[in-house]
Amino acid sequence: MAKKKENRVIFTKQMKKEYKVLLPMMLPIHFTLLEGLLKVEGYDTELLDTGGNDIVQEGLKGVHNDTCYPALLVIGQLLTAIKSGKYDKNKLALMITQTGGGCRASNYIHLLRKALKHSNLGFIPVISLNLSGLEKNPGFKLGLPLILKMIYSITYADMLMWLLNQVHPYEINKGESKELVHIWEKKLLVEFTKSRNLQYKKVKSNLHLIVKDFAAIQKHDIYKKKVGIVGEIYIKYARLGNNDLEQFLLDEGCEVVVPGLMDFLIFKADNRVVDIELFGGKKLKYKITKWLMEKFIVMQDEMIVAIKKNSQFRSVARFYKLKELVNGYVGQGNRMGEGWLLTAEMLEFIHMDIYNVVCAQPFSCLPNHVVGKGMIRKIKDNHQDANIVSIDYDPSATKINQENRIKLMLANAK
């Protein structure tokens, strides 16, 4: 019988040996590496890359329709998988991330448990993947080796995603860049099984090799409109959340530019460091958070150095540069949801001469309406070439209407 604590089912050490753990999809490259890492740690994991209206309908059954769209989709995806008949419900666990911030994203896990109970599935344990110490389970622990692997895997995934988006629209041999991503995914997951590959020098070397491999792909020397994507983290990244926005833009003949996950994680760590410096807190928590933040920044710097060694690729901006960009636009104390980072990402694109931007957000996501849609006029006042469209996503929004609005933006593209 599963143990209960704080009105939740605990994921035990015995469950780790016997249960399959389902993960919802957000970022394909990042989550593929994450799933592989968890398998190396002894977890029987499966990443769900499903789609379809049945997920939306299942989410609407289990979650109130006033809840934000990402929660509805994530919960709907998990519930659809559980009820598919593919799995033994009595040997099944779910994993979901928690940021620990003020956004409703921190409450997805509670909404998920409520939806499970509503479907008479309350016996299924839900594991929180977080770095804030929100929930603990005997069968799942984030030790230093696993945290290091995650930091390195995020660095690799950001690099692969960043270069893929710059090469894929121009490749002469169709599919070559995506195949290169798969090759590196397999290579890295094998490397993660050996502790010697967790050394800083090894990761640094691999970053340079990745750039070299992408630079070797033959490309057409043609011009394409560049379109940046910003917004709420799930809708910005997840195909399920944004109706496969990246593929739509590719089909329209664009080069898609999407910020990496690293900035968001540094942003979250920075928030906690600043909070403790201003208001006090546990010294151990401060040291750990400061270490995480510094580790991410060091790895981001190595990524930038590797990219800049090849002049054909655009580099990402350093986190502190992003922080400077928002001066005069929004206060750095604005940290709910994506906070000031969302505004900074739009400005980062403009400083890269990428003036066409889609701001993708869930309908009624108040924090992102303030720092996303609310900042568009101010940005346009200061940058006359800025061509930004805000697109809302929710169960009632039609794909055709969203795409028509984006096509109108593309018609005015610089």
Report the CATH fold assignment for 223-259+327-414: Rossmann fold (3.40.50)
E strand spans, 232-383: 254-257, 356-362
Q: What is the pLDDT of residue 101?
A: 62
Its pTM stands at 0.93
Rounded Cα distance between 318 and 193, Å, is 30
**Can you say how many angstroms the Cα of residue 349 is from the centroid of all Cα atoms in its chain?**
18
CATH 3.40.50.11900 location in the chain:
223-259+327-414
Q: What is the pLDDT of residue 86?
A: 96
Q: What is the pLDDT of residue 273?
A: 87
Q: What is the pLDDT of residue 145?
A: 84
Q: What is the pLDDT of residue 199?
A: 86
Report the CATH fold assignment for 4-140: Rossmann fold (3.40.50)
Residues of the chain short of pLDDT 50, as ranges, are: 1
Q: What is the pLDDT of residue 6?
A: 59
Which positions ≥6 away from 52 have C-beta within 8 Å?
A: none
Three-class SS state of 49: coil
Nearest residue to 209 via CA among 302, 92, 343, 76: 302
Indicate the angle between helix axes 144-167 and 283-308, nearest 10 degrees: 30
Half-sphere exposure of 56 (CA within 13 A, CB side): 14
Sheet order of strands, 20-24 included = 44-48, 20-24, 92-97, 126-129
Tens of pLDDT, residue by residue over 74-107, are 999 999 999 999 999 999 999 998 766 666 666 7
